Amino acid sequence: MPDKITRRSILKGGVAGSIASLLFRPKSSKAHQIKAYQNSMGVLVDLTRCVGCRSCEAACNAEQNMPEPAKPFTDMSVFDEGAHGHKRRTDETTLTVVNKYDVPGLDHPLFRKIQCNHCQEPACLTSCFVAAYTKTPEGAVIYNADVCVGCRTCMIACPFYIPTFKYSSAFDPKIVKCIFCYDTRLKYGQPPACVEACPQEALTFGKRKDLLKIGRRRIVDNKDKYEDHIYGEFEAGGTSWLYLSSVPFEKVGFDMTLPHQPILDSVKNFLGMVPMVLTIWPALFTGFHLLATRKEPHAKDENTTKQEVGE
Amino acid sequence: MKSFGKTAMMVLITLWMVSSAPPVTAMDPEDAPESVTLDYLEELYESVEFDHMTHAEMFSCADCHHHTTGDSATDDSCIRCHASPETADDVSCSGCHEEKQSGKARTSDGSNNIYHIDKPSLKGALHLQCMGCHQAESGPVECLDCHSFTAAGEERFKIKN
């Protein structure tokens, strides 16, 4: 018989593994560097220019062959549909929506378009255990619906609540989200449909690094017009879609509590431990169990012997 | 080779004609076109007949045009380079603003990447200029106040007839 697995060897392995796990901790998140694609594209959204015409929604619907909406895109009553101040969200039929914000002290409403922000380090991508998501060098976060198993972890991981689920389909449910018009446009260097449709040029398509320059220039050239911040430059580790606003961002629905590190960093230490726990703990605790129950068979033997003697 | 010589001659003649043209003087509002047909981008909407005269009577030329014929640009950003009146001969919007916003113009590949990094396309320039003023002056601001849909536009916006 080859090397026999003894209780002792199992215990040894378990103890050694535990010590190793303490010594070789996953790398600290402080050392994290964003390895973003240098020439990736993005879109700069200037909230001061948007007039809420919904041309982007209509263009997106046509480009992505989405189902016909209940109301035409010229119907502005959709802005007031949400009860108790709830805003419209992306769903399986709409990859982008525009919301209206009445900001106190401002004589006109502001409008904000939402869609996937195409993070530099997407939380949806890192949370997906079947690796359905891809961040392309052009900047788009796309996904392969064929390998999606419908676990919806990405919906929870996304800090912007963007991926949605096709609940209406019982047999082919899949995740639905904006893909930056990757298949039909971005791949060929063209701007997404929403950008092309925008009459006010509230959406500007370009290299992300150039958009940051344009954004900063607008802030500098138009004194007191803009908040001195480009949303998305650092939020959640940086996003391909960037935003300029004339009012504090939280007043137009932006989450200002997001960390500047990628969302992945919040869970990386924990996730780094998972494989170790899965491999070492079974051996360790099996060892403990064997150790704890080592004497039981002997005790049984002794009892039997006593009974036999008694007879 | 023959056609090259012909082309070169044409270019020389054109250059001579341009350089010997009389200096352009400032234009009076009365000389400006009465109306301008905006049809560069008609696809979803019919072309728009812009009543230039009415606007010229209500406002001064420089309220909308960054510069007027024969005068230098007024915009601080433009005047850095385009201070001489000669460069201001073309007062049409399409003289400077390209018809389409292209991703390429916004990248650092182009030669004008230092200054012209944030010039709106023609569609953007017209809308920003018109809407900015119409909002401030309580003019019509709804899309269909100025535009009427084409069949393609109705299809795009899912108008149910």
pLDDT tens sequence across A80-130:
887 777 899 999 999 999 999 999 999 899 999 999 999 999 999 998 989
- Say if A223 is an interface residue toward chain B (CB within 8 Å): no
Question: Nearest CA to CA, how far is A198 from chain B (Å)?
Answer: 8
Please indicate whether, in this complex, the C-beta atoms of B108 and A207 are within 8 angstroms of each other: yes
Over its C-alpha atoms, chain A yields an Rg (Å, rounded) of 28
Confidence of residue B97 (pLDDT cuts 50, 70, 90): confident
Report the distance separating Cα A71 and Cα A58, nearest Å. Answer: 11
Per residue in A187-207, pLDDT (tens digit) is: 998 999 999 999 999 999 999
C-alpha torsion sign, points B51, B54, B58, B61: positive
Q: What angle do CA B128, B130, B135 make, to 5 degrees?
A: 90
- Distance of residue B22 Cα from the nearest chain A Cα, in angstroms: 37
* pLDDT (average), residues A153-170: 91
Residue A198 vs residue A296, higher pLDDT: A198
- Cβ within 8 Å, pair B127-A200: yes
pLDDT attached to residue B160: 81
Which H/E stretch holds residue A98? strand A97-101
Rounded to a whole number of angstroms, the distance between the first and last alpha carbons of chain B is 60
Distance CA B158, CA B161 (A): 9
Q: What percent of chain A clears pLDDT 70, i.e. is strictly above it? A: 84
Between CA B32 and CA B34, with CA B33 as vertex, the angle to 5 degrees is: 115
Query: Is the separation of the CB atoms in B101 and A203 below 8 Å?
Result: no
Q: Does B133 touch chain A (CB under 8 A)?
A: no
Given B77, B131, B156, which is nearest A58 (Cβ)? B156
**Which has the closest alpha carbon to A179: A111, A130, A240, A237?**
A240
Helix (H, G, I), strand (E, B) or coil at B146: helix
> pLDDT band at B26, cuts 50/70/90?
low
CB contacts, 8 Å: A196 with chain B: 100-101
CA-CA distance, B30 to B61, in Å (whole number)? 11
| Overall size of chain A counted in residues | 311
Instruction: Please choose, from the candidates B64, B34, B61, B62, the residue with its C-alpha nearest in 3D space to the C-alpha of residue B50.
Output: B34
Segment B26-35 mean pLDDT: 74
B128 in contact with A, Cβ within 8 Å: yes
Report how far residue A251's alpha carbon sits from residue A103's, in angstroms, rounded to the nearest whole number: 7
Q: Amino acid letter at B156? A: R
The first and second tokens of residue B133, run together, are 């003023």
pLDDT at B1 over 60: no
Residue A141 has pLDDT above 90, yes or no: yes
- pLDDT on residue A48: 96
What pLDDT was estimated at residue A20? Answer: 63
Residue A253, token pair as written in the block? 């629905």
Predicted confidence at residue A23, as pLDDT, reads 59
**A 81-110: CB under 8 A from B:** 108
- Report the residue of chain A nearest B43, measured CA to CA: A197
* End-to-end alpha carbon distance in chain A: 40
List of residues 6+ apart from A46 with CB closer than 8 A: A202, A203, A204, A218, A243, A244
- The beta-carbon neighbor of B117 closest among A49, A201, A213 is A213
Tokens of A249: 């961002």
B157·A218 Cβ contact <8 A? no
A55 to chain B nearest CA, in Å? 8
Q: Which domains does chain B have, with CATH numbers?
A: 29-156 (3.90.10.10)
Cβ–Cβ contact A61 with B under 8 A: yes
Residue A130 has what DSSP assignment? T
Residues on chain B touching A73 (C-beta within 8 angstroms): 156-158
pLDDT value at residue A300: 59
- What is the helix, strand, coil percentage profile of chain A, to 5? 40, 15, 50
B127 pLDDT band (50/70/90 cuts)? very high
**CA A23-A29-A30 angle, 5° bins:** 105
Average pLDDT, chain A: 86
Residue A230 pLDDT > 70: yes
- Cα–Cα distance, A187 to A182 (Å, whole number): 5
Q: Chain A closest CA to B140's CA: distance in Å?
A: 13
CA dist A254 → A71, A187, B9 (Å): 27, 29, 61
The rounded mean pLDDT for chain B is: 76
| Distance (Å) from the alpha carbon of A181 to chain B's nearest alpha carbon | 14
The pLDDT of residue A273 is: 81
- Please give the pLDDT value at position B114: 62
More confident residue, A13 or A215: A215
Task: Determine whether the interchain pair B103/A61 forms a contact, defined as Cβ–Cβ distance below 8 Å.
Answer: no
* pLDDT grade for A78, boundaries at 50, 70 and 90: very high
Choose among A61, A199, A204: nearest Cβ to B106.
Answer: A204
Contacting B residues, span 66-105, partner chain A, CB-CB under 8 Å: 77, 100-104
- Residue A117: closest CA among A261, A234, A266: A234
Find, among B104, B154, B96, B146, the residue nearest to B121 by Cα. Answer: B96
Give residue A31's pLDDT band: very low, low, confident or very high (50, 70, 90): very low
How far CA A281 is from CA of A16, A82, A251, A271, in Å, comes to 12, 49, 48, 15
Distance CA A56, CA B6 (A): 49
Does residue A206 sit at the B interface (CB-CB below 8 Å)? Answer: yes
Q: Do A199 and B123 lie within an 8 Å CB cutoff?
A: yes
Percentage of chain B modeled with pLDDT above 70? 68
Class of domain A41-262 as given by CATH: alpha beta
ipTM here:
0.76
Distance (Å, whole) CA A141 – CA A128: 13
Kind and range of the H or E run holding A45? strand A41-46
Q: A58-62, B97-101, B126-130: which has the minimum mean pLDDT?
A: B97-101
In this prediction, residue B45 carries a pLDDT of 93
Supply the pLDDT for residue B18.
44
* Interface residue of A39, A44, A190, A200 to substitute, partner B, most B CBs within 10 Å: A200
User: What's the gap between Cα B124 and its chain centre?
Assistant: 10
DSSP string, A161-227: ---EE-TT-SSS--EE---TTTTTTGGGTPPPHHHHH-TT--EEEEEHHHHHHHHHHHHHHSTTTS-
Mean local confidence (pLDDT), A167-180: 87
Gap between the Cα atoms of A61 and B8, Å rounded = 50
pLDDT tens figures, B33-87: 888 888 877 889 999 999 999 998 998 888 888 887 767 777 777 777 777 766 5
Contacts of B108 in chain A (CB under 8 A): 207, 209-210
CB contact under 8 A, A59 and B156: yes
